Amino acid sequence: PFKLDPNLLTSHLRLVSAQRSSAVKRPERIEILASVLDELDLPYTWNVFTDKNENTNKGGVIYRRRVQNPLPYINDSDYFVLLSDSEALSYSIIEALSLNTKVLVTPLEAFFELGVKDGENGIVIPFEYFEPENRQKLKDIVRKMYLMKDKKINYKFDESTFDGYNELFKE
């Protein structure tokens, strides 16, 4: 009988993003990160749900129109990716973590307040890693992301999660 050599199989990375097209969402970071995945020859599929018809599908990046319910896509992914410059209360991060899907984010206070912990339930990419002179650092993060892709998480919502937000609104 035919037998597959498990050493020949490479695990496929599944990414998903859902974001509006806006400069603050930094859509070019998707292209930068995808180019690193391509350069490292890592197999991936990255579904990007957006309001803009990019029509620039390339490699594993697939731009899609918005869907009313992206949760099945998030649930079926290794990482939910949001590489913004700014976020308020990010429901998409809460939804991803609630589905026990790891997140890949930039270092925004809002994400930390929601319980994102680098290396535990996601990976935090410093802003400067997207600069050309830090390409090697970004490659190292992508390797870490790939090695962590099968790690299971169990996000526990804690009432204190929103303490920072509550204090802000009390003032």
Q: How far apart are CA 168 and CA 118, in angstroms?
A: 24
pLDDT at 78: 95
Q: Give the CA distances from residue 52 to residues 2, 9, 71, in Å, rounded to whole numbers and listed in that order.
A: 46, 35, 20
Is the Cβ–Cβ distance between 74 and 80 less than 8 Å? Answer: yes
pLDDT at 121: 94
pLDDT at 54: 60
Rg (CA), the chain: 17
| Single pTM value for the model | 0.85
Q: How far apart are CA 130 and CA 143, in angstroms?
A: 15
Q: How far apart are CA 77 and CA 45, in angstroms?
A: 9
The residues facing 122 across adjacent strands are 103, 118
Tens of pLDDT, residues 23-38: 778 888 999 999 999 9
In the structure encoding, which two tokens stand for residue 90, read together?
């990010």
Q: How far apart are CA 105 and CA 65, in angstroms?
A: 22
Tens of pLDDT, residues 125-159: 999 999 999 999 999 999 999 989 888 888 876 66
Which is it for the CA torsion 98, 99, 101, 103, positive or negative?
A: negative
Q: What count of other Cβ atoms lies within 10 Å of the Cβ of residue 101?
A: 24
Tens of pLDDT, residues 60-117: 888 888 788 889 999 999 999 999 998 887 888 999 999 999 999 999 998 988 889 9
